[in-house]
Amino acid sequence: MRYKSAIRTENGRLPALRPAIIPDRNRTMKLPARLFASTLLASAVVALPAVAGDGFRSALPVVDLSAEASLPAANDLFVASLYLERDGRDPAALADEVNREIAAALATARERKSVKVQSDGTQTWPIHGKEDRRIEGWRMRSTIRLESRDAGAMSELVGVLQSRLAVGQIGMQPAPETRRAVADEAMVAAIRNFEARAGVIAGALGKRYRLRQLSMSEAGGVPVYARMRSAPAMMAEASPAPIEAGETLVNVSVSGSIELID
């Protein structure tokens, strides 16, 4: 079996070939070496020396570290959730009753200028019989939400609304502007702690350092909720609800890497 050549000939002669381009060895070796060194710096805690081109060059050692700082923020924003729940056979009549009660509660709350009030959702679901699981009625629940930085006004309003609504929960948390101010202070403290740790590490190795990369994250405690007694007992009293603010810790973490230099 014969195979045809992939190169066509002219008059029995091979065509003239173009000169081959021979790459510059020095130029082609430098790029992979730089990429290799960068990979070491990004993935290792302390990078190993890298060989680049025609000589030996030591990569800068890299150390990953982290630090954090926590500061207390005053719980100066009070949040309360109150609801009304009713059962009935006629869903239209049930909705009319619940909406009427909620509208009256909202009107009462709007009289307190220092308290922000808003509707916080309404739910309706069927009530099934125990035997045949047929729908025997409907249950409707509507919730309102209160927010205020005035603990006295919030406590007095909750006490008044307890005559017609049940209290779901009362919570305390830092107001957005309070939390932001404390978080900024904690961020500065965390950065100072990071610098201190970096200085200790570099000093222990007899070197200086320079910052290579830095990232920050913020976290804080969950809102503090007051323990509520049973709804019927609270509705019967209609007295101001006790509120103790307290504090929430705001935590800022700083992580990054440094390069050790002579």
| Residue 229 is assigned to a structural domain of this protein | yes
Distance CA 8, CA 4 (A): 9
- 133 shares a domain with 111: yes
CA atoms within 13 A on the CB side of 176: 1
Residues of the chain with pLDDT under 70: 1-58, 221-244
Same domain membership, residue 234 and residue 131: yes
The reply to whether 31 and 118 lie within a common domain is no
Q: Are residues 83 and 144 in the same domain?
A: yes
Do 127 and 47 belong together in one domain?
no
Both 232 and 203 in one domain: the answer is no
Name the nearest CA neighbour of 158 among 222, 76, 231, 246. Answer: 231
pLDDT of residue 54: 39
- Give domain status of residue 40, yes or no: yes
Whether residue 163 contacts residue 233, with contact meaning beta carbons closer than 8 Å, is answered with: no
- The pLDDT value given to residue 97: 95
Q: For residues 113 and 232, state if they share a domain.
A: yes
Full DSSP string of the chain: -----SS--BTTBPPPPPPP-PPPHHHHHHHHHHHHHHHHHHH-SSPPPEEETTEEEPPPPEEEEEEEEEEEEE--EEEEEEEEEEEES-HHHHHHHHHHHHHHHHHHHHT-TTEEEEEEEEEEEEEE-TTT--EEEEEEEEEEEEEES-HHHHHHHHHHHTTTSEEEEEEEE--HHHHHHHHHHHHHHHHHHHHHHHHHHHHHTT-EEEEEEEEEEEEEPPPEEE----HHHHHHH--PPP----EEEEEEEEEEEEEEE-
Question: Residue 193 domain-assigned?
Answer: yes
Residues 104 and 165 in one domain: yes
Looking at residue 186, its pLDDT comes to: 96
% of the chain surpassing 70 pLDDT: 68
Residue 257 lies in a domain: yes
One domain, residues 101 and 161: yes
Query: Is 1 domain-assigned?
Result: no
Task: Output the furthest CA–CA distance in the chain (Å, rounded).
Answer: 115
Instruction: For residue 94, tell me if it sits in a domain.
Output: yes
Say yes or no: 187 and 112 in one domain.
no
CATH number at residue 139: 3.30.70.2970
Report which residue type is found at 254: V
Same domain (yes/no): 199, 159: no
Interhelix angle 91-110/151-161, rounded to 10 degrees, is: 150
Q: What is the pLDDT of residues 26-72, one digit of tens each?
A: 443 333 333 333 333 333 344 444 333 434 344 889 999 999 999 99
Q: Is 228 found in the same domain as 120?
A: yes
Q: Is residue 12 part of a domain?
A: no
Query: Domain tally for the chain?
Result: 3
Q: Is residue 205 part of a domain?
A: yes
CA distance linking residue 244 with residue 246, whole number of Å: 6
The reported pLDDT for the residue numbered 174 is 94
Give residue 37's domain range.
25-59
Where does residue 109 rank: exposed (0-12), middle (13-18), buried (19+ CB within 10 A)?
buried
